[in-house]
Every structure is written in C-alpha cells, then in structure tokens.
Amino acid sequence: MQFMLLFSRQGKLRLQKWYVPLSDKEKKKITRELVQTVLARKPKMCSFLEWRDLKIVYKRYASLYFCCAIEDQDNELITLEIIHRYVELLDKYFGSVCELDIIFNFEKAYFILDEFLLGGEAQETSKKNVLKAIEQADLLQEVSTQSVTSEHLCKCIATPQ
C-alpha cells in the first residue's frame, strides 16, 4: 500500500497515512485530486479505479470514505478486507465508532492503524492481538503521565508475548 486516506463526504481529511516519501505539496495535490475523483463516483460503481499508475480501492462506511492506493501486484479484493478489518478495530475500540470519534481522537486512530499495518502491509492478522496491544499501550500511557515511578511501572506492564 502506498497510502491510506480517510475523508468525509464533504471532502474533509480525517486521517492520512503515507507509506511513500512525498513532499507536503505533493501530498496535498494528490489528496485534493483523489478526494475529488472518489466523491464524484456514483453508488453503482465498483470500489476500484485506476488513477495515475496506481490502483485505488475505496469504501464508504457511514459518513467516512476509506481510500487506499495499492500497487499493481496487490490484490484489490483483500484490500477491501484490510479496510474492513481496520473499521472493525476502530469499532471495537471506540464502541460503535462514528466520524466524531475519529475527529476528536485522531491520534488514537493512528495508533490503532500503526498496530495493524506497518510500512503498508498487515503486521497482525488477529483482531484480538491488535486490540490487546493497543490496550496495553494505552495503559502504559496512563501510567507514564503520572510522573512518579513511571519507569518502574513501564517495565512491569511490558510483558513479552
């Protein structure tokens, strides 16, 4: 995967994960063009489109579009499953996730994504394991915000699997 974008029906960006090095200017240009293209698609059209030399896979969940750019050899259908898995993870984490959750807790959305994908590929195929890791990391974060004995507690919580 080269990048993943989440945006609303009005075209507002809610998350952007880039797995290829591009300048801010280029990212903005790509985002603008792609958002426009996807929003112009009619409901009867399929979830795939060719854009530049990439394959775009997108799916709408409620008010959010999840949009991935994959390479020629990547499997479009399994990418739909990847998107779906991410949505499930968000849903489990936030409890019936909606766009507002992602707006107000955008950093959490990134943290969850970063436990699921790394460098554009799935690092963990078990839903349970991703959620467990996030849970543990959140706990670690809570503990570390208490400035007392944080280092000691860090060591306790960090159990190898």
Partner 1 sequence: HLPSLRVQVLIRTIRTARTQAEEREMIQKECAAIRSSFREEDNTYRCRNVAKLLYMHMLGYPAHFGQLECLKLIASQKFTDKRIGYLGAMLLLDERQDVHLLMTNCIKNDLNHSTQYVQGLSLCTLGCMGSSEMCRDLAGEVEKLLKTSNSYLRKKAALCAVHVIRKVPELMEMFLPATKNLLSEKNHGVLHTSVVLLTEMCERSPDMLSHFRKLVPQLVRILKNLIMSGYSPEHDVSGISDPFLQVRILRLLRILGKGDDDSSEAMNDILAQVATNTETSKNVGNAILYETVLTIMDIKSESGLRVLAINILGRFLLNNDKNIRYVALTSLLKTVQTDHNAVQRHRSTIVDCLKDLDVSIKRRAMELSFALVNGNNIRGMMKELLYFLDSCDPDFKADCASGIFLAAEKYAPSKRWHIDTVMRVLTTAGSYVRDDSVPNLIQLITNSVEMHAYTVQRLYKALLDDISQQPLVQVASWCIGEYGDLLVSGQCEEEEPIQVSEDEVLDVLEGLLVSNLSTPVTRAYSLTAIMKLSTRFSSVNRIKKVVSIYGSSIDVELQQRAVEYNALFKKYDHMRPALLERMPIMEKTATNGPTDIAQTNGETDSTILDTKHLPSITHPARRCNYHICFCLAGIPPMTAYNKNGLKIEFTFERSNPSPNIAVITIHATNSTEADMTEFVFQAAVPKTFQLQLLSPSSNVVPALNQGSVTQVIRVLNPQKQQLRMRIKLTYTHKGSPVQDLAEVNNFPPQSWQ
CB of 62 or CB of 157, closer to partner 1: 157
For 34, other C-beta atoms within 10 Å of its C-beta total 22
Q: How far is the CB of 108 from partner 1 (least distance, A)?
A: 10
Q: How far is the CB of 61 from partner 1 (least distance, A)?
A: 15
CB of 96 or CB of 126, closer to partner 1: 126
Q: How far is the CB of 87 from partner 1 (least distance, A)?
A: 13
State the residues that interact with partner 1 by CB under 8 A: 13-16, 19, 21-24, 28, 42, 44-50, 73, 75-78, 80-82, 103-104, 106-107, 110-111, 114-115, 118-119, 121-129, 133, 136-137, 140-141, 143-145, 150-151, 154-155, 157-158, 160-161
Query: HEC profile for 22-72?
Result: CCHHHHHHHHHHHHHHHHCCCCCCCCEEEECCEEEEEEEECCEEEEEEECC
Beta carbons within 8 Å of 124's beta carbon, 6+ residues apart: 115, 116, 130, 133
CB of 96 or CB of 161, closer to partner 1: 161
Q: How far is the CB of 70 from partner 1 (least distance, A)?
A: 13
The answer to whether the beta carbons of residues 33 and 149 sit under 8 Å apart is no
**Measured in whole angstroms, how far is the alpha carbon of residue 122 from the centre of its chain?**
11
CB of 96 or CB of 155, closer to partner 1: 155
> CA-CA distance, 3 to 13, in Å (whole number)?
13
CB of 62 or CB of 81, closer to partner 1: 81
Q: How far is the CB of 154 from partner 1 (least distance, A)?
A: 5
Count of alpha carbons within 13 Å of 90, Cβ hemisphere only?
26
